[in-house]
Amino acid sequence: MATTHLLEPHRGTLHGHFARDLAPAVTVDPGDTVRFRTLASGWHLDDGPVEDVAAVPLFPGRVSPQDDGHALVGPVAIRGARPGMTLEVGIGAMVPGPVGRCFAGGRPTPLNERLGLAGDSVMHAWALDPAAGTARNQHGHTVALAPFMGVLGCAPDEPGVLSTVPPRACGGNIDCRELVAGSTLFLPIAVEGALFSTGDGHGAQGDGEVSGTAIECAMERVDLTFALRDDLPLTTPLARTPAGWVAMGFHADLDEAAAIALEAMLAFIGPRLGLRRADALALCSVAVDLRVTQIVNEVKGVHALLAPDAVR
């Protein structure tokens, strides 16, 4: 019988890195659900509509150099998960906390320098209303809430302590706004148990995440259900979302990221429609959208989107 497990953010579940030797916070069976509660990505304890981020307390005990990355909760080990298999992550209910923040400018990144914003930083403080489905900032701007988790990933099979910033073939800091409730994410498994972690809640984000942040927020509830697949070999994340099928590509070069995403889409639709690669590419040219997932995570992301009714 399937079980629901609860993971709260505390010193035993929080980590700011990926590592294949991290001890699991919980071990679950395929079919089980884990209900996560997460901090904001910067380890903030969001307990009120504070517009000054300096006044927002950090998680007490964020003292290790290994906490430099996003505040992740996990890892979750799935019994029977082995390298070469695929982890199926069913994304259920997601409820953001009451406040979020978006930052822009200030950092000396190439994009900020190109836009003349390296010396000018701002923070938008957002009041989140999950019941109404809206977020409103201190300037009176209102946007629709569309919460999702920025980081959804398995541990890579690499030694040492690994940054949470760049997304990898086994997931991580994907930052794909299509991964809302009702989606199913498929991730290649690289290590025994999969060792899945999540964090970096977003209240809303545009494709590209151009300032480097979305509406960064704690998540009061994130329900993820895990299953194992040995009939869906993958080299990069794939997802079924309300917007359609999504194939993802990550690379330092945006063109190469697009090629990886397109390659994954060809590999997905070709066998299912009985198409040669050239025919699959021709169909993609008229039915698949290439979207820039993000340009701010050291390696860039592109996702290829095939809408549900694009091919009949």
Pick the more confident residue, 214 or 309.
214
Q: What is the pLDDT of residue 63?
A: 64
Helix axes 254-273, 277-287, angle to 10 degrees: 110
What pLDDT score was predicted for residue 109? Answer: 82
pLDDT at residue 101 greater than cutoff 90: yes
Q: Residue 93 has what pLDDT?
A: 97
**Would you identify the CATH topology of the domain 4-229?**
Jelly Rolls (2.60.120)
| pLDDT tens-digit readout, 160-181 | 999 999 999 999 999 999 999 9
What is the tens place of the pLDDT at every residue in 190-240? 999 999 999 999 999 999 999 999 999 999 999 999 999 999 999 999 999
CATH number among 3.40.710.10, 3.40.50.2300, 3.90.550.10, 3.10.28.20, domain 243-306: 3.10.28.20
Which residues of the chain does CATH 3.10.28.20 include? 243-306
Give the angle 131-134-140 at the CA atoms, nearest 5°.
Answer: 135
Please report the pLDDT score of residue 233 as a whole number: 95
Per-residue confidence at 186, pLDDT binned at 50, 70, 90?
very high
The set of residues, in sequence order, having a beta carbon less than 8 Å from that of 60 and lying 6+ positions away, is: none
Of 156, 250, 231, 165, nearest in space to 194 by CA: 156
Q: Mean pLDDT across the stretch 288-295?
A: 98
pTM, rounded to two decimals: 0.96
Report the alpha-carbon distance of residue 12 to residue 43 in Å, rounded: 15
For residues 22-26, average pLDDT: 97
Position 107 pLDDT exceeds 90: no
Query: In the chain, where does the domain assigned CATH 2.60.120.580 lie?
Result: 4-229
